[in-house]
Structure 1
Amino acid sequence: MGDHYFSAEPGAVSRPGTVDLVLRDLHLRLETDRGMFSPDRVDAGTRILLDTVPPPPRRGNLLDLGCGYGPIALTLASRAPEAVVYGVDVNQRALELARRNAESAGLDNVRFVTAEEVPPEVSFAAIWSNPPIRIGKQALHELLQTWLPRLEPGALAHLVVQKHLGSDSLQRWLTASGLPATRLASRSSYRILEVQARVR
């Protein structure tokens, strides 16, 4: 598992690089490295998510689940400067780069942490995620069952998933699990799923 981006300590030899995140409202140059997700370019699914989702809530706690080196969390932090953004990942190399990318961007309302470092009482006004599909279906379901129920009443999560990696079956599973999911958009084989908070 050491060479996978979803390992805590990736085994890939370091090879630092940079990528540009260019959106209609934001341009960031981000440090990257081997041993994390999509180190050579901002992943197409991430770009589609950031181009498609409605604006985040202006305040509250926001979550990027599986943040990598930070493009989604930093976009949330930029678009909602009065919110507190949590970027959560297991990959220590990615978290360290994400912190440096936040500092370079002058965004001080984002915290890049492991799951264990998020206080258990924290709930979220929004979740945006390009979830780590390749960890396997069971692990993915456990991950989503851990975090999606922490949505505040009336809050929404937005997930981007490729069709051939199971977006339609994931949508059905979410709905059957009491987390109603609809397809917000579809582009270039990617689906943007909008998930409603579980009724408490």
Structure 2
Amino acid sequence: MGEHYFSSEPTAASAPRRVRLALRDVQVGLATDSGVFSPTAVDAGTLVLLETVPPPPSTGDLLDLGCGYGPITITLARRAPDATVWGVDVNERARELARTNAASAGCAGVRIEAPDDVPDTVRFATIWSNPPIKVGKGVLHGMLRQWLPRLTADGVAYLVVQRHLGADSLHRWLDTEGFPTERLASRKGYRILTVRAKEAS
């Protein structure tokens, strides 16, 4: 499954369906399909993240890293309608779904892109992510090394990771990489990690 939803062009036969994102402040139907992450329901870790983190900055560039079909992207856009929300995913099918879902939800300030299509000059006031832990540490660490340095000086990232899939070891790794990290919450078997930008040397 990890390789499957992390593929740039999924080979699974299309099986469209709809799921519901039901939060206190955001309730929308979302189109999903096979070959993307958590196609039958919004992932439990994503829900923990969205129910736990502080409100996003009201303006600036915000990032949903590994956006899938867009539940985090849409929540960011609904909570910060004056911001530009970037949804980034390697999976082409997921990106198309995220574009469709953002448009259906009336989220005008959303840009869904492949990783290489985000301009290098963009810096993010916040990053929210349910990262693809199952792709392995090499890919995961490479992804975080690519995107966390793009936080603004006072920016902050929020990551949700299952406790039994290495949340605490990831916490330690982030600290050793120079990204000050704290545990914001622990709920339903998930950790929410708060990751801050590296201090200027």
TM-score (norm 1): 0.98
2:3/2:135 contact within 8 Å kept: no
1:2/1:9 contact within 8 Å kept: no
2:2/2:134 contact within 8 Å kept: no
CA distance in 1, matches of 2:100, 2:3: 22
Cross-structure match for 2:37: 37
Cross-structure match for 1:134: 134
**What aligned pairs does 1:42-57 form with structure 2 within 5 A after superposition?**
42-57=42-57
CA distance in 2, matches of 1:192, 1:160: 5
The alpha carbon displacement at 1:36 in A equals: 0.4
1:3/1:10 contact within 8 Å kept: no
CA deviations 1:47-85 (Å, max 9, x no partner) are 000000000000000000000000001100010001000
CA distance in 1, matches of 2:77, 2:52: 17
TM-score (norm 2): 0.98
The alpha carbon displacement at 1:135 in A equals: 1.1
User: Root-mean-square deviation (CA), in Å?
Assistant: 1.2
Secondary structure of 1:18's match? strand
The alpha carbon displacement at 1:45 in A equals: 0.2
CA distance in 2, matches of 1:28, 1:197: 32
2:129/2:158 contact within 8 Å kept: yes
Cross-structure match for 1:27: 27
Point out where structure 1 has 5 or more consecutive residues left out of the alignment. none
Secondary structure of 2:27's match? strand
The structure 1 segments of at least 4 consecutive aligned residues displaced by more than 2 Å after TM superposition are none
Q: 1:34 to 1:28 in 2, by over 3 A?
A: same
Cross-structure match for 2:93: 93
Point out where structure 2 has 5 or more consecutive residues left out of the alignment. none
Secondary structure of 1:21's match? strand
**What aligned pairs does 1:1-200 form with structure 2 within 5 A after superposition?**
4-200=4-200
The alpha carbon displacement at 1:154 in A equals: 1.3
1:66/1:131 contact within 8 Å kept: yes
Q: 1:139 to 1:111 in 2, by over 3 A?
A: same
2:69/2:97 contact within 8 Å kept: yes
How many residues are paired up?
200
Letter in 2 for 1:91: N
CA distance in 1, matches of 2:97, 2:163: 30
